[in-house]
């Protein structure tokens, strides 16, 4: 499903070379829930963005469903990403002038086809957003924002969900709602790559991949 082969990513920070990923390889099966754990600056987000086709590694390859992601032209990769992956980030990245319902529908801008209304309703219900659909992000709590971002990521049932520190700002109750939703998605055949330094949360995954600072 996901084959990461010997990827290296180097950043230049104020003239100094920082190796975020160094000859790193990882294989994830379809339907697997993998947690990537490690200290700050160990390259967790870099790995996630590389899998998501958003950050080209300096060396190595990322192959998803048999497609070498970085061999594709940019526009093709964009379409591939829209069809295959969903993203959730710690900072939610909700569009401030759209309400909850509109934010969830945003992937429709890139999707080839209609919004699956039944799934949209199901996600709103599952994530407890029914009462908040007309509210803008500024009127939501952190948990509601993250649930909205999760609903947006899962709307078109992507093959892979890439989640970066999604519970970092949430209370226990919201963590449970989010995690239950992730397990539901996994049960339906989805693959999850979760980046977190919350050990308790990572233990709930099928597998933990430890990244260390180089």
Partner 1 sequence: MKIRYLVQKEIKRRKLNFALCLLSVIVAVVSVCSVFTMLEIYDLRTKEIVQKKEQETKERMDSLEDDYRKITKQLGFNLLILPKNQNISDVYANDFASKFMPEEYVEILANTKSMLIRHLLPSLQQKIVWPEKHRTIVLAGTRGEVPFAHKAPKEPMMVAVPKGTMIIGYELHQSLGVKVGDKLRIMNREFTVQKCNESRGNIDDITIWIDLKESQELLNKPGKINAILALSCHCHGGNLGKIRDEVNSVLPETQVYEKGSRVLIRAEARDRAAKEAKEAIQAEIKQRKDLRKERENLAAIIVPLVLLTSVVWIVFLFMGNVRERKSEIGILRAVGVNEVSIMKLFLLKAFWIGIIGAFCGYVLGIGGGSILGGLFSTSLVNVPLFVAVIILAPLLSIIAAWVPAVIASRQDPAEVLKEE
- Taking the complex as a whole, the smallest distance from the CB of residue 191 to partner 1 amounts, in Å, to 17
Q: How far is CA 155 from the centre of its chain?
A: 13
- Taking the complex as a whole, the smallest distance from the CB of residue 87 to partner 1 amounts, in Å, to 5
Q: Of 44 and 132, which has the nearer Cβ to partner 1?
A: 44
Question: What is the rounded CA–CA span in Å between residue 85 and residue 4?
Answer: 16
Q: How many CB atoms lie within 10 A of CB 18?
A: 14
Nearest to 145 by CA among 163, 126, 164, 170: 170
Q: Of 58 and 206, which has the nearer Cβ to partner 1?
A: 58
- Taking the complex as a whole, the smallest distance from the CB of residue 109 to partner 1 amounts, in Å, to 5
* Structure token digits, residue 57: 């590694």
Q: Of 26 and 153, which has the nearer Cβ to partner 1?
A: 153
Q: Note the residues at the interface with partner 1 (CB under 8 A).
A: 45-46, 49, 52, 54-55, 74-75, 78-79, 81-83, 86-87, 89-91, 93-98, 102, 105-111, 115, 152, 164-165
- Taking the complex as a whole, the smallest distance from the CB of residue 168 to partner 1 amounts, in Å, to 9
Nearest to 197 by CA among 168, 173, 176, 163: 168
HEC string of 62-100 equals EEECCEEHHHCCHHHHHHHHHHHEEEEECCCCCCCCCCH
Question: What is the rounded CA–CA span in Å between residue 197 and residue 34?
Answer: 13
* Structure token digits, residue 74: 């940019």
Q: Of 34 and 51, which has the nearer Cβ to partner 1?
A: 51
- Taking the complex as a whole, the smallest distance from the CB of residue 40 to partner 1 amounts, in Å, to 11
Q: Of 169 and 186, which has the nearer Cβ to partner 1?
A: 169
- Taking the complex as a whole, the smallest distance from the CB of residue 156 to partner 1 amounts, in Å, to 9
Per the DSSP assignment, residues forming a β-bridge with 9 are: 21
* 9 and 44 Cβ atoms separated by less than 8 Å: no
């Amino acid at each position: 499903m996901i084959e990461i082969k010997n990827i290296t990513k180097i950043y230049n920070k104020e003239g100094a070379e920082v190796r975020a990923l160094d000859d790193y390889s990882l294989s994830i099966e379809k339907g697997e829930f993998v947690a990537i754990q490690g200290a700050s600056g160990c390259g967790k987000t870099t790995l996630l963005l590389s899998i998501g086709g958003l950050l080209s590694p300096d060396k190595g390859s990322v192959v998803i469903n048999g497609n070498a992601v970085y061999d594709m032209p940019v526009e093709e990769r964009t379409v591939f990403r829209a069809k295959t992956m969903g993203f959730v980030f710690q900072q939610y990245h909700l569009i401030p002038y759209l309400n909850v319902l509109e934010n969830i529908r945003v992937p429709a801008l890139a999707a080839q086809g209609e919004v699956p209304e039944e799934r949209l309703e199901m996600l709103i219900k599952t994530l407890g957003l029914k009462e908040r659909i007309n509210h803008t992000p500024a009127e939501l709590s952190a948990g509601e924002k993250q649930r909205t971002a999760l609903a947006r990521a899962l709307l078109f049932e992507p093959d892979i969900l890439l989640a970066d520190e999604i519970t970092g700002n949430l209370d226990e109750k919201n963590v449970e709602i989010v995690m239950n939703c992730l397990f539901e998605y996994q049960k339906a055949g989805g693959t999850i790559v979760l980046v977190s330094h919350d050990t308790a949360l990572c233990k709930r995954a099928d597998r933990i991949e430890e990244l260390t600072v180089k």
